[in-house]
Structure 1
Amino acid sequence: MNLHIVPARTGLHWAMQGVRTFWRQPLAMSGLFFLFMASVSIVSMVPFVGGALALVILPALTLGMMAATQTAVQGKFPMPSVLFVALKAGPQRKTMFHLGGWYALLFLGLMVVSMLADGGTFAKVYFGGSPMTPEVVNTESFQAALWISMVLYIPVSMMFWHAPALVYWHGLPAGKSLFFSLVACWRNLKAFSVYVLVWIGIFTGSGIVALLVASALGDAELMMPILMPMGLMVTAMFLTSILFTVQSCFTPPAHPDANSHTPPSMD
């Protein structure tokens, strides 16, 4: 496994590859994204520990979206079962749960830190324990907790960006996968900065389109019914693009593993 340093413009290429691949199998990728969200929602309903369990399975489900993208790149229709491929019996399943455990621990840790700013209001809103109202959102303490969480989540996101793929396709232990993912994101920070800016532009553009359509129809209340499906579709495109960041940053394994899904190629 070798780490590659890519130019900044590669970030745009990653995003565009995600969009193009999504439109190769739009029904499948949209359906898998909805299944992704439904799985997290159902698990989160487990009494007492549901929120933590939902965090634990997120890396595995993210790997499932990468595997689905790889299937779409190969011109095949990704079946729903591909989303759970990392949770099936195999040498990587235990490590994937270890990875999920670290994600839950770090995420809950940053939420605890955010409580120092607002006494836990932001955390309650995030986990659905308190309603999100304009009065709550506009308070200085809530805004401070929000920004603290966002800043602290950046290194967590960098650690887990490539980690599921490094565990599943490269067979790395959880700790090493987190380290190499962090290094890859840092060494390719320019490309990832462009990548993030492109997706911010795409999400913003979808909001502007929804506003223009609602205005053209003469009913401002139509904006949200238009924006929601557009936002979900763009989010599915974003998840589809993650695989291409892994392909560019790491050389694929020299030998395919025993999993039913082949490791990502550099093509």
Structure 2
Amino acid sequence: MQAAILPITAGWNWILDGFRLFKRQPMAMFFWSLLTGFLITVSYLVPLFGQIALIISTPLLTFVTLSACRHIAAGRPMLLSMWAEPLRDRQTRRRLLGLGLAYMGFCLAAGFIATLPFMDTLMTAIDADGEINPNALFSAMQGPLITFGLLYVLISALFWHAPALIGWHGIKMSQALFFSMVACWRNKWAFLAYGTSWAAIFFAVQMIGTFIAGLGVSPSFVQIMLTPVNIIVAAVLYCSFYPAYISVFGANYPSPEVPPATSGR
């Protein structure tokens, strides 16, 4: 599958296009961002199993997001009954779950690879009585965290386009991972600009909160003020996934026609 090669400015254009998609149906994407945030919060309330379930379900949630954006781009209103439509096909659901299991496997492997070389350093943070020295542990964790971060960049490239390639084109998982990696490599500068821009946006939101708190506003009120802003920013982030996929693969391999919207009655 041929992937387009885009200039570095494409990274910022994906964000702008995502914002335009959000403006078409802001309440629908606000709802999805709120629901996704709720699911993430619930996953952390269930130790270990919650995080595992979240990781496995990430490709399914991504595919639902992309499908919703495709409806919005086609000018169709997102009805409540339409959110589950992308996962009604059993074969698609099974393949995306398989992709989620592979995603979890890659993350676990990356965690193991990132931690193993630093085991001796990590063990020094525990004294003879089994007590953990927080400062020593924080210092010892820097190496594994940096290593995992670098490995996760590679994992993200493997899985970035895979849900759409599997869900819309029925491509085998191994091919989807390969095509996704090649597409991300060909557009590495665009993705660098994309990631850097989003980091700057999230940092700016937090700095605004810090500035408001510095004016004497209570932290709890600042948090209340920033909550809808964070939800909107996350919604625009989700919307930007669609133009990122379409601009790379859509020109040569357009997605199947969007099915007509159902009334939900």
Q: Give the TM interval when normalised to the shorter protein.
A: 0.7 to 0.9
Q: Which has the higher contact order (CA 8 A, sep 6+)?
A: 2
Q: What SS does the aligned partner of 2:233 have?
A: helix
Identity across aligned pairs (percent)? 29
Partner of 1:97: 97
Offset of residue 50 of structure 1:
4.0
Offset of residue 173 of structure 1:
0.9
Measured in 2, the distance between the counterparts of 1:254 and 1:178 equals 19
Gaps of 5+ in 1: 122-134, 263-267
User: 1:55-84 deviations in whole A, cap 9, x for unaligned?
Assistant: 111101111111111222233332345444
Measured in 1, the distance between the counterparts of 2:71 and 2:144 equals 40
Measured in 1, the distance between the counterparts of 2:77 and 2:44 equals 29
Change (3 A) 1:139 1:256: closer
Partner of 1:17: 17
1:195 aligns with 2:194: yes
Please report the TM-score for the alignment, with normalisation by the length of structure 1. 0.80
Deviates more, 1:158-167 or 1:191-200: 191-200
| Bigger CA radius of gyration | 2
Partner of 2:256: 256
2:168–2:255 CA contact under 8 A, matched in 1:
no
1:63 aligns with 2:97: no
1:210 aligns with 2:212: no
1:10–1:191 CA contact under 8 A, matched in 2:
yes
1:139 aligns with 2:145: no
Partner of 2:238: 239
Change (3 A) 1:95 1:206: same
Change (3 A) 1:38 1:152: same
Please give the root-mean-square deviation of Cα atoms over the aligned residues, in Å. 2.9
Change (3 A) 1:174 1:41: farther
Change (3 A) 1:38 1:207: closer
Change (3 A) 1:198 1:254: closer
Amino acid at match of 2:113: V
Gaps of 5+ in 2: 123-133
